[in-house]
């Protein structure tokens, strides 16, 4: 009974992370279905999808790599899988997917026009998030190559948190929309920026929390 409860307690958070990571895929697929089905849709939705059809390759690359990053990244937290060779192989896949997601996101930020409900702050938030994600991924990979796993894990957790920014932004946006209606472009930009900030705060809390037992054990041993 206890073993089953431990397995459940280990896999439930992973399942929640996977669901959270794939959440932004739903509206993206919905927009594409509406576009291809040629059904009646609000003009703003058609305007949003029309920019994707001008240059679809970066969009497809961003969506596929971001989904792969979210899925593989969630499984990296599995204690069981972390003890197997799968962790090292999937870690390389994770870094490649993350780099593709971040660089394609930066490309979209610089070459796709903003929508009417997006303000000027959003460009800088997206640029900062993309560059920070790239930096954490590179540092995490370098630390793993040097077998500095005490440095590797925090960098990868922060990169994963930034990669899940769209999920947190979606939850914030739905909540604000239901409670207060459509936000202004500036407020909308701040909400999107808050999504990345919240994820980084949670990531830092998880990093500190995971280190606490080690510090206590050292103190007791001393």
Question: What pLDDT, in 10s, does the model give residues 21-33?
Answer: 888 877 766 666 5
| pLDDT exceeds cutoff 60 at 45 | no
Which residues lie closer than 8 Å to 20 by C-beta, 6 or more apart?
A: 70, 164, 167
Question: What pLDDT, in 10s, does the model give residues 104-159?
Answer: 999 999 988 777 778 889 999 999 999 999 999 999 999 999 999 899 999 999 99
Question: What pLDDT, in 10s, does the model give residues 46-99?
Answer: 555 666 666 778 888 998 999 999 999 988 888 777 777 888 888 999 999 999
Helix axis angle, 85-111 to 56-75, nearest 10°:
150
**pLDDT at position 26, please?**
75
CA torsion sign for 81, 87, 89, 90 is positive
- For residue 11, count other CB atoms closer than 10 A to its CB: 12
Question: What pLDDT, in 10s, does the model give residues 111-125?
Answer: 887 777 788 899 999
pTM recorded for the entire structure: 0.83
């Amino acid at each position: 009974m206890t073993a089953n409860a431990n397995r459940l307690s280990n896999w439930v958070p992973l399942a929640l992370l996977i669901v959270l990571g794939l959440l932004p895929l739903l509206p993206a697929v919905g927009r594409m279905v509406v576009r291809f089905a040629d059904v009646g849709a609000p003009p703003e939705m058609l305007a949003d999808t029309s920019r994707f059809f001008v240059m679809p390759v970066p969009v497809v690359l961003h969506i596929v790599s971001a989904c792969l990053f979210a899925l593989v990244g969630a499984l990296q937290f599995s204690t069981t899988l972390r003890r197997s060779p799968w962790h090292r192989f999937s870690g390389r896949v994770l870094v490649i997917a993350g780099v593709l997601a971040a660089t394609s996101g930066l490309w979209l930020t610089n070459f796709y026009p903003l929508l009417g409900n997006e303000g000027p702050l959003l460009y800088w938030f997206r640029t900062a998030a993309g560059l920070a994600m790239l930096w954490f991924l590179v540092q995490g990979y370098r630390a793993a190559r040097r077998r500095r796993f005490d440095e590797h894990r925090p960098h990868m957790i922060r990169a994963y948190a930034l990669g899940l920014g769209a999920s947190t932004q979606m939850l914030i946006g739905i909540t604000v929309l239901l409670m207060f209606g459509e936000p202004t472009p500036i407020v909308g930009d701040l909400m999107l920026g808050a999504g990345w900030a919240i994820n980084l705060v949670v990531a830092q809390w998880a990093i500190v929390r995971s280190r606490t037992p080690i510090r206590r054990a050292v103190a007791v041993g001393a």
